[in-house]
A and B are shown apart, each in its own frame.
Chain A
Amino acid sequence: MKTLTHLERLEAESIHIIREVVAEAEKPVMLYSVGKDSAVMLHLARKAFYPSPPPFPLLHVDTTWKFKAMYELRDKMARESGMELLVYQNPEAAEKGINPFDHGALHTDMWKTEGLKQALDKFGFDAAFGGARRDEEKSRAKERIFSFRTSSHGWDPKNQRPELWNLYNARKARGESIRVFPISNWTELDIWQYIHLNDIPIVPLYFADKRPTVERDGMLLMVDDERFPLQPGEVPVERSIRFRTLGCYPLTGAVESEAKTLPEVIQETLLTTTSERQGRAIDKDAGGAGMEVKKQQGYF
């Protein structure tokens, strides 16, 4: 008898999870951040319901500071999948002109954490798919696949529902919601390999190319548009760079690289000696427990 490969098992598990949510939630939505994990999650959703399109919309909680290439791919993928795309920008953050250069942690807090809560409340979604993986970060490793949130979106790590076999409890009171992580058990390597095998479109920034950059606080930042305030004497330098993870462009560090194809990217990933979230400022806030605290406040 055929033994399934690890990717076949992961794929089947993720599809099973996505279908359970659709069967049991009243109004699900898929959070789409346009990164490689989102790309895989979206692809799995399309597989889960084929030949129907996935019976829920995509939601992009936009900070207005994503890379241009991300916006392009986002719109293309929504068209191609036949799914409705909802874009939400926190009006308060827009009004106050919150940006990553002047406001530091407040930027993530207002645009992402608050923006997400507002969007979920506005549309009344009771279940939201997210592309987080357990191998990304220590507190994620202990989060359930169905992560239950109070009506104020809080997460209580000490009061999680036990998750046995592949039985998921999606029941909740009105006003409460769940975040569901269908790719919890995938690793970074699995994601890359799956993209490779399934030819899933991803943002070109994941591949090395000559791009204008400046170096700040040990991070290589890409000057993606004219909003990037250059410091006196700072001149963007063309470097061959790529990104291991994508967020707001002023907060996302690039790595110098020559990897122009997926196998080359994977090779570099495997031979590298730093973890992928290292390029993201968010984990460093609030000491070692940064992500845990953020999640308790309602961050994905």
Chain B
Amino acid sequence: MSDVETKEAVYVTDQLIADDIDAYLVQHEHKTMLRFITCGSVDDGKSTLIGRLLYDSKMIFEDQLDALQSDSKKVGTQGQEIDFALLVDGLAAEREQGITIDVAYRFFNTEKRKFIVADCPGHEQYTRNMVTGASTADLAVILIDARKGVLVQTRRHSYLCHLIGIKNIVLAVNKMDLVDYSQDVFDRIVEEYGAFAREIGIESFTALPISGFKGDNITTLSDKTPWYKATQYAGITLVEHLETVEVLSSVDADKPFRLPVQWVNRPNLDFRGFSGLIATGSVRAGDKIRVLPSGKTSTITRVVTYDGDLEEAVAGQSVTVCFADEIDCSRGSVISIADNPPQTADQFEATFVWMADEAMVPGRAYWLKVGTQMVSATVQEPKYEVNVNTMEKLAAKTLELNAIGVAELTTDKQIVFEAYADNRTLGGFILIDKMTNATVAAGMIHFSLRRSQNVHWQAVDIDRKQHAGLKNQRPAVLWFTGLSGSGKSTIANLVEKKLHRMNRHTFLLDGDNVRHGLNKDLGFTEADRIENIRRVGEVSKLMTDAGLIVITAFISPFQADREMVRSMLPEGEFFEVFIDTPLKVAEARDVKGLYKKARSGELKNFTGIDSPYEAPRNPEIRIDTTVISPEEAANLIVDTLLGDA
């Protein structure tokens, strides 16, 4: 260890461990926890700072130090000195390339607290990782290289931390040893940063002059910066500051009670409990509560845990509560204090951080998860995108990977929500691609749009059941999908004729016909195709409400769009009919001469040629037109439809 600069700055592990382990354990038991992130690039000495914190709090063991020393000599960037960065860069690719790719989580303790550090890469292309790390942080340490001052990336990191709602910002002016511990340098940087922070709405921050490499002002005050005591930050060390700032969960405890229900606990007929993590507020037996979205009220009778019933539980605790009344409550419900419940809505404005290689597709249906609610949602074209380096608002048609923008969002059901600024749990959401199941975006709800609060469903006396009853049939949608020229229209026509002969009330919606009227304003871009399908879906739904059997014949190449229509309809009423004709066969038929045009480049975005067709994975009916005739296919479809009914 001799070649490490240890000085007096080493954080002394509590002497208590050796002297009185029981007393130490009591002390450790009562520690609180702070989660923070460090932002900066390799050059700012971020990994070195974390390595230093781990080292000074004795979280680096001898075998790790040995490995570190040999790695430092092999691939380190600090000459013969220990390169703490190597301790933090865990993936082989990172060590080889000397960059941090992914968020890494590190742990250390002091006498007062346990710390979880999310180490976030500083490169622009990894915005998504920084947002990920920031989402669970109580505090952010923004690192600045004292020689370089406030850089574009400093602004970007600060903006992202502010966006995600971090209230405690620490400006760590690092590498002070390389500027002779100059107060002028420090003051200039703090002033410049202060002006920028005010501009983007950061209310306050704490600035410290440090050297992660030498250990100045990390765990003990440095004698190299005597002037630091006289600044407004009163000369506290980084660790002291981290030990004393208020943590998020104690702020959340003072808000109104909200418990998103994860799971209903019903071991036997005598016990019915609702389990979840308390998002905000506190709860005790006797509290009057309201369950959203139903709005039904009851009283808490017990707060149950394995270790006995609790008198009171607060934000951040996982509990199970019981009610006095048998009211409807299940996964996705939110239990709230009765007189101050959150709202429900289905249209919102929100900020999005796009996290997938595939750009946002306005109009496409994604899964949206907020708290324990999972719904289908579509996003409008962005109102604007934010340039994360300049904070300028730019016009945008979509959001690409790592882009941040504001857009409107519509969910297929009302969700229980609060503005993100008031409640991270009920205001923060993720979007999931329905095809790949990847998490493609994170979002933060600003507010619900007025129109969704004012447009109410008009209750009608004659409902869909009665419409269908009069026609003596069960409504359904036979949704044909397949390549152009696969035989959709031909078979769909035969199916309608058969059903008509059987006195069924039907309606055939054909792709080409719809584009002459209802959808004549739409072209063939991806967004227009999605809107085309959405409108057909809505019309089909109205027709099933009227009791009809609807037959549609559209290429409808995207699984997500077909799923969107499926999710509009009651369970069992949507039949995906896959007319499975190989491209070769369809192209050989080329009834309308379209493939020829597409091949010659005359026709753009043609499915199967320069636009993909996503075959259904689990269609209700699959017709292989290379094996059976259109007549046989129509019989099979009718039999399946009616047999199922």
Residues of A at the B interface (CB closer than 8 Å) are: 1-13, 15-16, 19-20, 22-23, 46-53, 134-135, 137-142, 157-158, 160-167, 169, 171-173, 184-185, 187, 189-190, 193, 196-197, 263-264, 266-267, 270-275, 278, 288-289, 292
Contacts and interface: CB of A to CB of B under 8 A. Distances in A.
Contacts of B28: 189, 193
Nearest to B442: A164
Contacts of A7: 29
B641 to A, nearest CB: 26
B18 interface: yes
Contacts of B17: 267, 270-271
Given A1-B282, A15-B318, A52-B267, 12 more contacts: A5-B32, A6-B113, A7-B29, A20-B262, A50-B320, A51-B267, A162-B129, A165-B428, A187-B109, A187-B114, A275-B61, A275-B64
25 contacts: A1-B253, A1-B314, A3-B32, A8-B316, A16-B277, A23-B331, A49-B265, A50-B306, A52-B266, A53-B267, A134-B105, A134-B106, A137-B90, A138-B91, A141-B104, A142-B91, A142-B105, A164-B439, A166-B277, A171-B437, A185-B107, A266-B21, A271-B17, A278-B61, A288-B95
Contacts of B439: 161-164, 169
A184 B24 CA distance: 24
A10 B316 CA distance: 10
Contact of B102 (A13, A15, A48, A142): A142
A231 to B, nearest CB: 26
A172 B436 CA distance: 8
A173 B437 contact: yes
A74 B584 CA distance: 59
Given A23-B262, A185-B107, A164 B67 contact: no
Contacts of B442: 162, 164
Interface in B429-463: 429-430, 432, 437-439, 442
Contacts of B61: 272-275, 278
B249 interface: yes
B18 A47 contact: no
A140 B104 CA distance: 9
A4 B316 contact: yes
Nearest to B87: A138
Contacts of A273: 61-62
Contact of A158 (B13, B33, B63, B93): B93
B46 interface: no
Given A52-B267, A173-B437, A292-B92, A167 B430 contact: yes
B21 A263 contact: yes
B592 interface: no
Contacts of A12: 277, 316-318
B304 interface: yes
Given A135-B107, A142-B102, A165 B18 contact: no
Nearest to B420: A165
Contacts of A270: 13, 17, 24
B21 A4 contact: no
Nearest to B253: A1
Contacts of B432: 169, 171
B25 A193 contact: yes
Contacts of A47: 305-307
Given A134-B105, A139-B90, A273-B62, A165 B304 contact: no
Nearest to B316: A4
Nearest to A186: B107
Contact of A163 (B109, B132, B275): B132
Contacts of A187: 107, 109, 114
Contacts of B93: 157-158
A14 B265 CA distance: 17
Contacts of A53: 267
A282 B58 CA distance: 25
Given A1-B254, A6-B113, A267-B21, A193 B102 contact: no
Contacts of B109: 187, 189
B346 interface: no
Consensus secondary structure, chain B interface: mixed
Contacts, number: 205
Contacts of B95: 288
A167 B104 contact: no
B63 A5 contact: no
Contact of A288 (B71, B267, B367): B71
B88 to A, nearest CB: 8
Interface in B273-289: 275-277, 282
Nearest to B357: A159
A11 B25 CA distance: 17
A169 B275 contact: no
A51 B105 CA distance: 33
Interface string B319-349: 0100000000001000000000000000000
Contacts of B282: 1
A9 B101 contact: no
Contacts of A164: 131-132, 135-136, 428, 430, 439, 442
Most chain A Cβ neighbours within 10 Å, of B67, B71, B105: B105
Given A184-B105, A278-B61, A288-B92, A52 B21 contact: no
A263 B22 contact: yes
A167 B276 CA distance: 13
Contact of B91 (A6, A134, A157, A173): A157
B30 interface: yes
Question: Top 10 closest A-B pairs, CB basis?
Answer: A138-B90, A6-B33, A15-B318, A52-B267, A275-B61, A47-B306, A50-B306, A289-B92, A267-B21, A6-B114
Interface in B395-447: 424-425, 428-430, 432, 437-439, 442
B355 interface: yes
Contact of A141 (B90, B113, B306, B437): B90
A216 B267 CA distance: 52
B575 interface: no
B364 interface: no
B31 interface: yes
B529 to A, nearest CB: 24
Interface string B14-39: 00011001101100111111000000
B41 to A, nearest CB: 18
B424 A165 contact: yes
B103 interface: yes
Contact of A2 (B135, B253, B367): B253
Contact of A6 (B25, B31, B276): B31
A5 B437 contact: no
Contacts of A139: 90-91
Q: Name the residue among A1, A13, A46, A53 with the largest chain B CB count within 10 angstroms.
A: A1
A281 to B, nearest CB: 13
Contact of A50 (B129, B305, B367): B305
Contact of A142 (B90, B317, B320): B90
B543 interface: no
A165 B369 CA distance: 12
B507 interface: no
B318 A4 contact: no
B116 interface: yes
A289 B71 CA distance: 12
Nearest to B33: A6
B430 A292 contact: no
B304 A51 contact: yes
A9 B105 contact: no
Interface hub of B33, B93, B254, B430 (most chain A Cβ within 10 A): B33
Given A142-B90, A275-B63, A10 B425 contact: no
B106 A141 contact: yes
Given A263-B25, A271-B17, A288-B95, A5 B317 contact: no
A48 B114 contact: no
A218 to B, nearest CB: 12
B372 interface: yes
